[in-house]
Amino acid sequence: MSFNLSIAAALTFLVMLPAASAQSRDQQPGDDRSTTAGVHYLNLRVGGGSGGAMGKPVICVEARVWTRLSLETCGTGAGLLTELSGTDIAHFRAKVAMRQWAAHGGIVRVQLGLGFAELEVGDDDPGFDFGGGSGVETAGPEASTAVQYLASLGHGVEAVASLSAGVAYFAHGPDLAISQRAWQPFVGLEIGAGF
């Protein structure tokens, strides 16, 4: 999925999100009384984004570990599922659901995320190098926000669309073999399913 297609999909997603204020009811995160989407534990999404995605699809896996808390990883799978052919960033974050409400037959959920990202400009070595000593990869902190839309597909399965944006900081980014900016903003849009 090209980045331009991701932008078009993101704009479509945002147009569909008005909170229908007269019909929506506020819910606390984790309040799963809605009949449209039940308790959500795990989802797999595929999409596109910026932040060194090399024009390849981004894959995200998110797992709920507590009422409001989930853990998520997003990346192209470079070095594992695909060969690295340019700059790539993988994300590892904890996300807290801040608010959610019923809208358009589903649930809209706003999440804040904190974690770290790994920036690679060459073959990935095992583990994470926060010091940037290898010259081909470095890791650093990131912060993000996401808006998700979940709609029931029946039998406890939900369709999930997620639009996220954030920034990562790589202190050693300028020192890599292919110099990179220290501050790396990113956006992403993925669609998938979960239960």
Q: Distance between CA 96 and CA 109 in Å, rounded?
A: 10
pLDDT in tens, 112-168: 999 999 998 887 777 888 887 778 899 999 999 999 999 999 999 999 999 999 999
How many domains is the chain built from?
1
Q: Distance between CA 27 and CA 17 in Å, rounded?
A: 16
Share of the chain above pLDDT 90, in %: 58
pLDDT in tens, 86-101: 788 999 999 999 999 9
The predicted pLDDT at position 142 comes to 98
The predicted pLDDT at position 128 comes to 87
State pTM to two decimals: 0.79
Cα–Cα distances in angstroms (integers) from residue 171 to residues 14, 74, 136, in the given order? 33, 21, 14
The pLDDT-based confidence of 79 (bands split at 50, 70, 90) is low
**Domain around 53:** 3-194
Residue 82: CATH number of its domain: 2.40.160
